[in-house]
A and B are shown apart, each in its own frame.
Chain A
Amino acid sequence: MEIFELEFMRRALLAALLVGVAAPSIGVFLVQRRLALLGDGIGHVAFMGVAAGLFLGTSPVVTGIVAASLAGAVLEVLREKGRLAGDVALALIFYGGIAGGALLTFLSDKPNSVLGYLFGSVLTVTGQDLWILGVAGTVVLLSVTVLRKELFAACYDDEVARACGLPVRRLNFFMALAAALTVGVTMRVVGVLLVSAMLVLPVAIVQQLAGSFRATVRASLAVGGILSVGGVAAAFYLDTSPGATIVLLAIGVFALTALAARQRTGGLAGG
């Protein structure tokens, strides 16, 4: 097949697979805690990190991950203080990130390359990028797997989790940092503006049909990987933007599963 003969496509498909599987593994816990848009907040700040990388002439992926991690920690502190819902603090972080990123981009000598991070440019993934994606994706997947029962308990009912002696605060910080790491690498594929979609949409698709948490996790990873690789392949043949194609494909599948779930429950909204 033509698509596998091109070096950049092989790299793109591998990057898409890594991100597609890793993103929902942390996304499922964000959805459970009703923090589905946390990824967006982190992404806006990560954009400033990317721009700083371009401005300083270092790896934008690395500076993006650093900025995302700082954003994750700050957002977690705000959430803990109960100031994340509809608060001005969140708007400051969102738009401060974008504005700071835009300014640094303007000052750098290659302002055009920032577009690749806004909307993703999986076709230009380098060998070094692939290594970073591989390491970050593996770290997220492994740590989430190892901590799965602690994370489930803390996300399902943090009050009882505390009365079980779990370090709920540390687990929450872990989740924010894992989300930041995921956002940092995912934006290479779908871009800052669509990064939350990769964390949330596979979970949103699966949870309509799955019967258990375990099944939701497993199916989300599979669906995330398939949609991500399928989106990149479709973009190749249709000559469209890969990031946008992945996300629109996911939304299409979501609409179909929503219909299927509706049929199954006889027209009632599934719980």
Chain B
Amino acid sequence: MSVHTAGELAGATVYLGQAEVLSSLDVAFRAGEFVALLGPNGSGKSTLVRSLLGVIPVASGRVRLFGAPLDKFRGWGRIGYVPQRFGAVSGVPATVEEVVLSGRVSVAKRLRGYGSADRRAAARALQEVDLSDLGLRRVSHLSGGQQQRVLIARALVNEPDLLVLDEPLSNLDLDHQRDFAKTLEQMVRSGATVILVAHALGAVEKLVDRAVVLEQGRIVHDGPPSAEHQHDHAHHVPLQEPLGGTGADQHRIH
């Protein structure tokens, strides 16, 4: 079974500081699946994906990526990740292309600069998010929505088999949400797994084939997105919007 999962947590408990954010959580993401992670603020959605990718450690339990335990996993080029916050619009200038290229660090040749294959991959990813003309612009000079698309391009640059998106839609206008939905649809069709953390599903709603709903670090719903979930997330503005129905009748774990 584990051979066929793109990622899984088993009995994962995670602390942030003193607080237990995930409580002995079990979840597996199958290849080719489009999973929406839903739940109110502070329910542990971001923590779940961050521990899945090894960004934060689990206190106990097991984490696997493509069947390999996290500490043995070497196929980082198969992962694409859009974190929730913008990494760093630091004082030091960086171009759009430089930021997208930094996503190639997992696959590029060690101990040297990026090569022409890396640049072609970056150009293709920028085309995917409709930013081909802005490659040489400073990231800090772009609008919030454009910056969000730069981060998406960085996550797409290796054509990942597992794409993890933490609230990627909140800054995108509807047109770019639709474009992004098309990109995701193609990826899933070619066998990639998508994990989307969201408050509002917007244009990608129809792509979701499984909803995992968290509440206080536990899974309270795992299955097809029910009508009430879809309704809840389709029409609300993201952020600060707690989830209404929790699907408590569909408890699967715990």
A223 to chain B, nearest CB (A): 14
Q: Does A213 lie at the interface of the complex (its beta carbon under 8 Å from any beta carbon of B)?
A: yes
Are B88 and A32 within 8 A (Cβ)? yes
Complex CA distance for A34 and B164, rounded to whole angstroms: 27
Question: Which A residues are in CB contact (< 8 Å) with B79?
Answer: 163-164
A92 to chain B, nearest CB (A): 23
Taking a contact as CB atoms under 8 Å apart, the answer to whether B88 and A156 are in contact is: yes
Report B-chain residues with C-beta under 8 Å of the C-beta of A157. Answer: 83, 87-88, 102
Closest to B87 in A: A157
A160 proximal to B (CB < 8 A): yes
Contacts of A11-62 to chain B: CB distance below 8 A: 28, 31-34
Bound complex: CA A203 to CA B93 (Å): 10
Partner of A164, one of B88, B98, B103: B103
Q: How distant is the Cα of A157 from the Cα of B95 in the complex, in angstroms?
A: 14
A122–B53 CA distance with the chains assembled, in angstroms: 49
Q: Which residues of B contact A160 (CB under 8 A)?
A: 81, 83, 87, 102-103, 154-155
A150 within 8 A of B: yes
- Is the pair A153, B102 in contact by a Cβ cutoff of 8 Å? yes
CB distance from B25 to the nearest CB of A (A): 19
**CB-contact partner of B98 in A150, A152, A204, under 8 A:** A152
Is A148 among interface residues, defined by CB-CB distance under 8 A?
yes
A10 at the interface (CB under 8 A from B): no
Total number of residue pairs linking A and B with CB closer than 8 Å? 106
Q: Is A216 within 8 A of B92, CB to CB?
A: yes
**CB neighbours of A149 from chain B (8 A):** 101-102, 105, 108, 113-114
A194 at the interface (CB under 8 A from B): no
In the bound complex, what is the Cα–Cα distance between A162 and B22 (angstroms)? 20
Give A141 Cβ to nearest chain B Cβ, in Å: 15
Q: What B residues does A165 contact at CB under 8 A?
A: 54, 73-74, 76, 106
The A-contacting residues of B in range 78-108, CB under 8 angstroms, are: 79, 81, 83, 87-95, 98-99, 101-103, 105-106, 108
Cross-chain contact of A31 among B73, B92, B98, B105 (Cβ < 8 A):
B92
Residues of A within 8 A of B74 (CB): 165
| Complex CA distance for A83 and B54, rounded to whole angstroms | 23
Contact A213 B94, CB 8 Å, known A153-B105, A160-B103, A271-B141: yes
Does residue A210 face the partner (Cβ distance < 8 Å to B)? yes
Instruction: Indicate whether A163 sits within 8 Å of B92 (C-beta atoms), given known contacts A148-B113, A214-B98.
Output: no
Asked if A127 lies at the interface with its beta carbon under 8 angstroms from chain B, I say no
Q: Which of A208-246 contact B (CB under 8 A)?
A: 210-216
Contact B53 A163 (CB under 8 A): yes
Q: A211-B138, A212-B95 are in contact. Are A159 and B83 (CB under 8 A)?
A: yes
What string of 1s and 0s marks CB contacts (under 8 Å) between A129-153 and chain B?
Answer: 0000000000000000011111011
Q: Which of A34, A146, A164, A214 contacts B106 (CB 8 A)?
A: A164
List the 4 closest A-B pairs by CB distance, nearest first. A157-B87, A165-B76, A271-B140, A164-B106
Contacts A/B (CB < 8 Å), 26 sampled = A31-B90, A32-B88, A32-B90, A32-B92, A34-B90, A146-B111, A147-B111, A155-B88, A156-B87, A157-B87, A159-B55, A159-B81, A160-B102, A160-B103, A162-B53, A162-B54, A164-B105, A165-B106, A166-B105, A212-B98, A212-B138, A213-B93, A213-B94, A214-B98, A271-B140, A271-B141
- A residues in contact (CB < 8 Å) with B: 28, 31-34, 146-150, 152-153, 155-166, 203-204, 207, 210-216, 271
